[in-house]
Amino acid sequence: MSNTLTSLKIAGAALFACAVFACTPSAKQNSSNKIDRHAVVTRHNVQVESFDTLSSLSIGNGKFAFTVDATGLQSFPSLYSNGVPLGIQSEWGWHSFPNTGNFTRDEAYKLYEVEGREIPYKVQWKEAGRKQDAANYFRVNPHRLQLANLGFELENEDGSPVQAEEITAIAQELNVWNGLITSNFSVENQPFTVQTCASPGHDRIAVDVSSERLETGLVGFNLRFPYPTGEFGGDASDWSKPGLHTSTIVANNEHSATVQH
């Protein structure tokens, strides 16, 4: 019995030593075994070659996001409204419709008996009336606000507006390592290169546009501000109520303008 126990102890010690040895990094390990993180990340860069309404690309900083179409801006928002919409949203951009009914949150509650007690829960009331109206109001408000829409305003040489199907040679890439969207495309065989990025520390975007067509007067930029819809889904933009919101240029010079919305 003594000899058997001694053998088991020796075998166990040897096994433990092997396990420790196997987990110890080799002193001869060289840099060729290190992970090339840049290569691992950039091999997943996103490629877009058409106006695919389910493949719009977004950049941002975790608190602010800007979503673009194949032009690198938001040039054809209606085309994407039923896909992945083109928008600008942030953590601070919220909106509420006026509470014209003077609803209170208590009106949205329904009492349920739970273990001998009546507990109020907010529900979606099926019966029409004030309780349903109150529940619907607080379900919608507050809601995220689409801050703006910034896109190209492109014209053909005959003065007609350029349609999405007239834009050719689309080659767009989102570099997921540095958060840069590079969009290449052509209008009437004249190439564009657009680079779009977002600030990591501020809610801002920067856009660099390169094209000889800029000198023709056929390229402009369109900055629009929508009214919110409060609806779930869609592009959350109502362009039919310009009288319910205002946009004012509060400062401008030869190279810049500040707009208060």
Q: In whole angstroms, what is the distance from residue 195 CA to residue 173 CA?
A: 10
Both structure tokens of 222: 């369109």
Give the N- to C-terminal CA distance of the chain in Å, as an integer: 90
Q: In whole angstroms, what is the distance from residue 151 CA to residue 81 CA?
A: 15
Q: In 10-108, at which residue ranges do the beta strands (DSSP E only) sit?
A: 46-48, 57-60, 64-68, 88-90, 94-95
Q: From first to last of its 261 residues, what are the pLDDT tens digits of the chain?
A: 444 443 334 344 444 333 444 445 555 556 668 999 999 999 999 999 999 999 999 999 999 999 999 999 999 999 999 899 999 999 999 999 999 999 999 999 999 999 999 999 988 888 999 999 999 999 999 999 999 999 999 999 999 999 999 999 999 999 999 999 999 999 999 999 999 999 999 999 999 999 999 999 999 999 999 999 988 878 889 999 999 999 999 999 999 999 999
CB 44 within 8 A of CB 70: no
Which residue is listed with tokens 């109520």?
Answer: 241
